[in-house]
Structure 1
Amino acid sequence: MREKDMLISQFIDNELTLEEKAEFVREINVSDSFCAETLDMLDTEMLMEGMMPDAPPVPEIKEKKRIVTPASLMSFTALAASLAVALKVFLFAPSPVEEVDKHRFVVYVPDAQKVSVTGSFSQWQSIDMKPVGNGYWHITLPLKKGEYVYNYVVDENKKMPDPAAPAKQIDDFGGENSVLMVGDNI
């Protein structure tokens, strides 16, 4: 990715400091081609903003037929009583609910036929991304707060770290992964 494209992407994603934003505005006022490229990328971003990716399909669960017997009814009653006692005991000290944030992965790979994202959040299983146009691919995934490592897979065989990720690390195989922090209390 060209340095100019990365700067535009960081500006759009609000990843620049105030000083970097000021330099960006100065540069865009000087160069008509830089201004045109930025407006082009903003148009693409607006197009992507209007597209909400489909959620992954939920597997269908087949229900078994159940037969009610006196023993199962007594077990259910005992379970319900135990549950009532447990609720009474723990009602005044509820455990916190794990928060989930949505994170949008976007990458510019103009010559790719297929792009997916893989990482610690998916146990390194590939998740296909959707083409948006002009060489951009994206997907939005629900992620719990925490730190994740990930990379993109281009055309099913080329691993590539996220060029816009501010943090990277070397993996156990000599490759490079991007690092993602989700949530504000990390």
Structure 2
Amino acid sequence: MMNEIISMYIDDEMTLDDKIAFIEKIRADIFFSDETMGLLQQEKLIRSEVVERLPVLDTGPRFDWKKFFKPFFQPMGIVASALAALIVLLLIYTPHPAPGLITERFVIFKPDVSQVEITGTFTDWKRIPMNKIDDSGYWEIYLNLTQGEQRFVYILDNRYSFADPTMPARERDDFGGENSIFYAAQRI
């Protein structure tokens, strides 16, 4: 308790009445007087030049935006920034194939028809016209398919359905015809 009172006196945390009472206590008690003198000597030593003083703490902003962006406005910084922006734009706007899409070529030999269409699970059973290859009798089309099992059929002259003769897997459809079945997968 005595150390606390001495500390309050040294740190000037007492009222004038408290200081008067403190001085009277020092005069009356020699042990208390010696202890007070010792603590005052310690405080004097702490506040003197003997003890290394800590540098003043800079309480400015923690992050200086001007210093951070200064290199970007130097000639090489501008070039580097422009190059980085160009790379980012190229990565964003370069067309990338959709994941899991596989390009499949469908070919059929039917020289005696005037139109061939293909329809299947990959077109939501909507008909897509195929392209005639010159006068060879072959019809072809390239389609992007998702990976997995697919079903399809050719429509000849807008009337007849025709399963692909090169695919052995088939199934009967609800209309009495046959659909070809195959598994679309990435080829190595």
Q: Which has the higher contact order (CA 8 A, sep 6+)?
A: 1
TM-score relative to the length of structure 1: 0.45
